[in-house]
């Protein structure tokens, strides 16, 4: 019986939820001769929806071909993805970083360095678009956990590109928080939550978390 396999042809066809499953498998792998074989079969299961037992019946050359395709996709470099659709709802990347609220920054800082909570970080960065006019657009206000679950279905190219975007804009984030501090009087407790000190420790920790995440993105190359 011929089995049809839906192999993703672009990073946008892979979801955040699928990648989180993959990361969990990789991090829980035991060393051994069957490590690579097991991972290859799990790649087919996670990204192509092929049951593990069914994948065992495939020819080695076919498994290798598909794994190479997925590997290439996971190492794609893309410009920042500003819009994507989930169902009938269009989500847009936060248009102006300096409009980020104190609460949004704290949630982003807490969640962006943890793959298990990445959907929560993405719910800060991407929100439903209220209106668009040419290159200008407005998104809904941040609503905490309202869109956490649905973000697991968002395209992976948007996730990857936003992480890289923030890593390279660490200095810009520092400027934004400096402006915020100049405009608002923060209590000692709020300062402690931010981890802001005279030497900018909070921002450096934020950037360090993103660097660790970027290391995970290249895991198929190891």
88-142 residue pLDDT tens? 999 999 998 778 888 888 888 888 878 999 999 999 999 999 999 888 999 999 9
Q: What is the residue extent of each domain of the chain?
A: 11-74, 83-221
Determine the pLDDT at residue 221. Answer: 36
Which helix H or strand E contains 78, and what residues bound it? none
Contact 7, 66 (CB under 8 A): yes
pLDDT for 180 equals 54
- Report the C-alpha gap between 10 and 187 in whole angstroms: 47
Higher-pLDDT residue of 72 and 177 is 72
Distance CA 4, CA 63 (A): 13
pLDDT at 163: 87
Residue 153 clears pLDDT 50, i.e. is over it: yes
> For residues 178 and 197, what is the distance between their CA atoms, to the nearest angstrom?
11
Of the CA atoms within 13 Å of residue 45, those in its CB half-sphere come to 16
The SS3 assignment for 141 reads coil
Q: Which of 98-107, 174-183, 195-204 has the lowest mean pLDDT?
A: 195-204
Give the pTM: 0.77
**Would you say residue 176 has pLDDT above 60?**
no
Beta strands in the chain (DSSP E): 83-86, 89-93, 126-133, 136-139
Q: What share of the chain has pLDDT > 70, as a percent?
A: 73
pLDDT in tens, 39-53: 899 999 999 999 989
User: Is the pLDDT confidence value at 154 over 70?
Assistant: yes
Query: What's residue 139's pLDDT?
Result: 95
In this predicted structure, what is the pLDDT of residue 142?
Answer: 92
**Which of 122-126, 143-147, 171-175 comes out lowest in average pLDDT?**
171-175
For residue 27, the model assigns a pLDDT of 85
What percentage of the chain carries pLDDT values higher than 90? Answer: 45
pLDDT of residue 75: 86
């Amino acid at each position: 019986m011929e089995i049809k396999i839906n192999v993703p042809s672009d990073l946008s066809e892979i979801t955040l939820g699928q990648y989180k499953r993959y990361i969990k498998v990789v991090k829980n792998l035991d060393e051994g001769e069957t490590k690579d074989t097991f991972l290859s079969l799990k790649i087919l299961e996670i990204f192509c929806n092929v049951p593990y037992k069914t994948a065992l019946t495939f020819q080695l050359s076919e498994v290798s071909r598909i794994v190479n395709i997925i590997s290439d996709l996971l190492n794609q470099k893309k410009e920042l993805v500003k819009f994507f659709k989930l169902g009938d709802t269009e989500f847009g990347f936060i248009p102006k970083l300096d409009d980020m609220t104190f609460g949004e920054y704290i949630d982003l800082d807490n969640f962006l360095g943890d793959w298990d909570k990445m959907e929560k970080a993405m719910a800060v960065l991407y929100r439903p678009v209220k209106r668009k006019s040419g290159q200008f657009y407005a998104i809904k206000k941040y609503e905490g956990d309202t869109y956490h679950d649905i973000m697991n279905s968002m395209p992976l190219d948007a996730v990857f590109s936003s992480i890289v975007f923030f890593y390279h804009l660490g200095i810009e984030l520092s400027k934004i928080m400096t402006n915020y501090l100049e405009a608002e009087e923060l209590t000692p407790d709020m300062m402690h939550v931010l981890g802001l000190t005279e030497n900018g420790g909070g921002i450096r920790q934020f950037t360090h978390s993103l660097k660790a995440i970027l290391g995970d993105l290249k895991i198929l190359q190891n």
